[in-house]
Every structure is written in structure tokens, then in C-alpha cells.
Amino acid sequence: MELTTFGLIAWLLGGWMFLYGLPAVFASGWFRREIVATTKERPGLAGLQLFSILLLLFGLWILSVEYRVDTNAGWAVLIPIVGYLSVLKGMLLMWAPKWVEDMAKRFYKTDSGVMLIGVLATALGILFWWLAFSVY
């Protein structure tokens, strides 16, 4: 079976969300501490800036395939929305790292909240994988 471009993007997004969600479900305390530590801006470490550039490039790659949000496209409307959100998050990580650190501390406050985020991310990952292989 051959994947279309939308199918390939859905497959990549599904894999990323699935791999993001599993540790959040099964090791939520560790995952919460690592996310908050990753968002802290440390002198000499360019990890957050590198991640923001990679996220920005990934979003631009998605938008280079399809930049119009066509509401008649069915599930494929999710692809450009994810692209725009990736570009927005990449720019926020690049230009406002302190704000992102504060949001991460607030958002990842409890282990049960992190577990809920993990369940949602894992479910979205499975949905994107299913869409990649069954629809196109």
C-alpha cells in the first residue's frame, strides 16, 4: 500500500504523538520533571532553541504540502492546523522561552494531569496512524 503525502504526515504525527504519550501515561512523575527541566533556559545549552528551530521547520514542511484549511477535506483539515500550531509553538519557544517555562510549570503541575495529557496524545497518535493507513 502506498502512502500519500497526507498519509505520510499523518503517520509521522501519529508516531510522534504516540511516543510522546506513552511515557506520560506510564511514568508521569518522571515525565513531568523532565518537561519542566527541559523548558528551563540554561546558559550554555541551546537545547530549547534547537527544539524550537526543528519544530518551526517541521511546521513549515507540513505547510509546504498544504497551507489552506479546507473544511471540505474531511480529516485532512487537521494536517494544516497542526502545521500552523507547530510554527506558532516554534516561534513561541524561540522568542518567549521564559513564558513557555512558566506555562510548562503551570500546565504540568500534577502527575494526574500529565497522565491525562499522555492518554490524549496516545489516542491522537493511534487515530493519526489509523487515518494514515485506512483512509488514503
pTM for this one? 0.63
Distance CA 27, CA 115 (A): 8
Task: Enumerate helices (H) and strands (E) in the chain, giving the number of each.
Answer: 6, 0
Residue ranges in 3-68 assigned as alpha helix (H)? 5-26, 28-39, 47-65
Distance CA 28, CA 110 (A): 9
pLDDT tens profile 71-122: 666 666 777 888 888 888 888 888 887 787 777 777 777 778 888 888 988 9
Top-confidence residue, 66 or 79: 79
Reported confidence tier of residue 32, pLDDT bands at 50, 70, 90: confident
What angle (nearest 5°) sits at the alpha carbon of residue 79, between those of residues 75 and 82? 125
User: Count of alpha carbons within 13 Å of 66, Cβ hemisphere only?
Assistant: 19
The residue ranges of every structural domain in the chain are: 5-134
